[in-house]
Amino acid sequence: MSLPSHVRLIEVGPRDGLQNEAQPISVEDKVQLVDALAAAGLGYIEVGSFVSPKWVPQMAGSAEVFARIQRKPGVVYGALAPNLRGFEDALAAGVKEVAVFAAASQAFSQRNINCSISESLERFVPIMDAAKQHGISVRGYVSCVLGCPYEGEVAPEQVAMVARELHDMGCYEVSLGDTIGTGTAGATRRMFEVVGAQVPREKLAGHFHDTYGQALANVYASLLEGIAVFDSSIAGLGGCPYAKGASGNVATEDVLYLLNGLGIHTGIDMDRLIDAGRQICNVLGRPSGSRVAKARNAS
Ligand code: HMG
Ligand code: MG
């Protein structure tokens, strides 16, 4: 299969990245990050989550962040909503696109959202109905597609079943998450082959954490499977509060470098992206998780 000529990058740093940070991060710093990412040319930025603040304290200020960002025309500013309450809060905050999140493993579903896979899918139905009424698009996530921190191996057929349910209930795209970053290029290809038989590939996205250093290879393997949408995180920020030891998402800068090298168009400006990463790393007081940013900032 030939590589896509254009790839859409979904920037999840302000959500998947920052949700895992224990230190308080001000609304102002979050707003500056989101605005810097939009200025770099990202077309979709996941800004925050409307989840229980007891479960994920760092996302508690998401409504305020939404109130203060400078919305750039053409950019989608998304948020996670685990239930109808979260959807309504997101709507009240002026969110135009939400994401629901399920898991391919029962144990992770229980730890992450306190319900079984089927209960979670049932919970999404009223969200889909309300979203339709309000003209809000809904993206779906499946976690643990290449392994679970509690159950170990996850069958691609199980991933396909959950992805298909999300697609059939109206999610316009389903992002398949290697939450713990243990997947390999071979496992990634096999997983997309199985899921791709159930859900059209143009409706699928890849979401790779880099715990085992395989994320970029997995992005490339996905490109070979005809996948043209990837979630990534500025400076490789992140992890998952319910997947101990999981490291950040693949760094946006590194994915962009890969895609630029393949001549694949994204519309993103590398220099501005690196500036956005430097800014948030200064706030967090830690070096970037992006190899490209490290190399560029050292030169
Ligand atoms: P629960 O405790 O079962 O819910 O949590 P509940 O309905 O019994 O409510 C308990 C309390 O939470 C109540 O408050 C509710 O009002 C409140 P209390 O009466 O105790 O004061 N509550 C809420 N508050 C704010 N916003 C809401 C909300 N809903 C209930 N929306 C729940 C169930 C789903 C709420 C909880 O488990 C939760 O918030 N989980 C979120 C976990 C999360 O955000 N995880 C990280 C994101 S997923 C991820 O990172 C993976 C991904 O990146 C892909 C990948 O890498 O694989 C997407
Ligand atoms: Mg994630």
Residue for token digits 């710093």?
29
3 in a domain, yes or no?
Answer: no
93 in a domain, yes or no?
Answer: yes
278 in a domain, yes or no?
Answer: yes
Kindly report the protein residue whose alpha carbon is nearest to atom 24 of ligand 1. 52
Contact 215, 179 (CB under 8 A): no
Does ligand 1 have an atom closer than 6 angstroms to the CB of 207? yes
Q: Which residues pair with 6 in a beta bridge?
A: 265
Rg (CA), the chain: 17
pLDDT bucket at 242, cuts 50 / 70 / 90: confident
pLDDT bucket at 22, cuts 50 / 70 / 90: confident
Domain that holds residue 246: 8-298
106 in a domain, yes or no?
Answer: yes
Q: In CATH, what number is assigned to the domain containing residue 115? A: 3.20.20.70
**Mapping DSSP to helix (H, G, I), strand (E, B) and coil, where does residue 256 land?**
helix
- Residue 1: its pLDDT value, please? 67
Rounded percentage of the chain residues whose pLDDT exceeds 70: 98
> CA angle at residue 280 from 212 to 184, to 5 degrees?
15
2 in a domain, yes or no?
Answer: no
Does ligand 1 have an atom closer than 6 angstroms to the CB of 113? yes
Count CB-CB contacts under 10 A for residue 63: 18
169 in a domain, yes or no?
Answer: yes
Residue 205, both tokens:
């996205």
The ligand minimizing its distance to the Cα of 63 is 1
Ligand 1 atom closest to the Cα of residue 99 is 58
232 in a domain, yes or no?
Answer: yes
Q: Which of 144, 148, 171, 240 is catalytic?
A: 240
Average pLDDT (158-186) is: 98
148 classed as catalytic: no
Q: Report the mean per-residue pLDDT for the chain.
A: 96
The ligand minimizing its distance to the Cα of 20 is 1
Ligand 1 atom closest to the Cα of residue 49 is 44
Q: For residue 146, what are the CA distances in angstroms to 49, 192, 196, 292?
A: 24, 11, 15, 26
Rounded percentage of the chain residues whose pLDDT exceeds 90: 93
The ligand minimizing its distance to the Cα of 46 is 1
- Residue 52: its pLDDT value, please? 97
**Whole-angstrom distance, CA of residue 180 vs CA of residue 175:** 15
What is the distance in A from the centroid of ligand 2 to the CA of 222?
Answer: 17
pLDDT bucket at 298, cuts 50 / 70 / 90: confident
By C-alpha distance, which of 159, 153, 176, 181 is closest to 239?
A: 181
pLDDT in tens, 175-206: 999 999 999 999 999 999 999 999 999 999 99
Contact 184, 216 (CB under 8 A): no
Total-model pTM: 0.97
pLDDT bucket at 57, cuts 50 / 70 / 90: very high
Count of structural domains, the chain: 1
**Whole-angstrom distance, CA of residue 134 vs CA of residue 96:** 9
Ligand 1 atom closest to the Cα of residue 54 is 12
41 in a domain, yes or no?
Answer: yes
Q: Which of 46, 52, 150 to mutate to test the pocket of ligand 1 (most atoms within 8 A of CB)?
A: 52
Q: Please state the φ and ψ torsions of residue 208, each to the nearest 5 degrees.
A: -115, 125
Instruction: Reply yes or no on whether the pLDDT at 107 is more than 90.
Output: yes
Least confident of 124-133, 174-183, 187-196, 290-299: 290-299
82: left (phi over 0), alpha (psi -120 to 50) or beta: alpha
Does ligand 1 have an atom closer than 6 angstroms to the CB of 52? yes
Average pLDDT (255-269) is: 98
Does ligand 1 have an atom closer than 6 angstroms to the CB of 179? yes
